[in-house]
Amino acid sequence: MHRLIRIVLFFRYVFKSRLVNAAPALVVLLCTLPVSAEPEIRILVLGDSLTAGYGLAEPDSFPAQLEQALKKGGTSVRILNAGVSGDTSAGGRARLEWSLASKPHAVVIELGANDGLRGLNPKATAANLDAIVSALKRKGLAVLLVGMRAPPNLGADYGQEFSAIFGRIAAKYEIALYPFFLDGVATYENLNQADGIHPNAEGVGVIVTNILPFIQRLVSQARSVR
């Protein structure tokens, strides 16, 4: 489209200035000019060890594999790794502002796993995630919230209350929700490291494949509000 506009404007100039004889060569020149690429979208992933890439080489981490998958599909994107191993929703909330210093266009929130592992009060987790999403919405950023599940040993009541946090916040702020970060990976021994908690490189690949459509929609949303 940009190339066509340049050619049309060129012909208007040619016929107004009577430079018709020079037109063919100049048209060829115009057609060889590169079409401007879409601007790069920066996506911050605010998370814990599942984002940071605990136990993995950097290229095998979730942000790195996600960036490669998006670029392979032709998307101009940079994924910013704001994962801190052991972090809770409170920790993510506390470091939100300086995490945004890279000026992302969109944010993926992957927090809550450590809250569940420690059996923290779901109301506190909900308050932290709510504050994070609220702050991002005020800044006009595109947001994807990633859900998490509590360990089954904490009981059904705790698990239900914990799992409900994510859908409730997503509905409140009208943002996209990816229901469970470890979908298709949790409990699969061959997709996890020896601790049975953190995915290995292959497991991260499964996560990336599953979440990719959500991230692609997030990119589109970020472009529309730029």
Task: DSSP letter for 110, please.
Answer: E
For residues 152 and 187, the answer to whether their CB atoms sit within 8 Å is no
Q: Which amino acid is at 186?
A: A
Measured between its terminal Cα atoms, the distance across the chain in Å is 20
Catalytic pick among 17, 36, 195, 224: 195
Q: Verify whether residue 198 is a known catalytic residue.
A: yes
The gap from C-alpha 122 to its chain's centroid, in whole angstroms, comes to: 24
Q: Verify whether residue 49 is a known catalytic residue.
A: yes
Catalytic pick among 49, 61, 89, 99: 49
How far apart are alpha carbons 223 and 40 in whole angstroms? 9
Q: Verify whether residue 163 is a known catalytic residue.
A: no
How far apart are alpha carbons 47 and 178 in whole angstroms? 14
Q: Which amino acid is at 176?
A: A
For residues 128 and 146, the answer to whether their CB atoms sit within 8 Å is no
How far apart are alpha carbons 108 and 50 in whole angstroms? 12
What are the residue numbers of the active site?
49, 195, 198
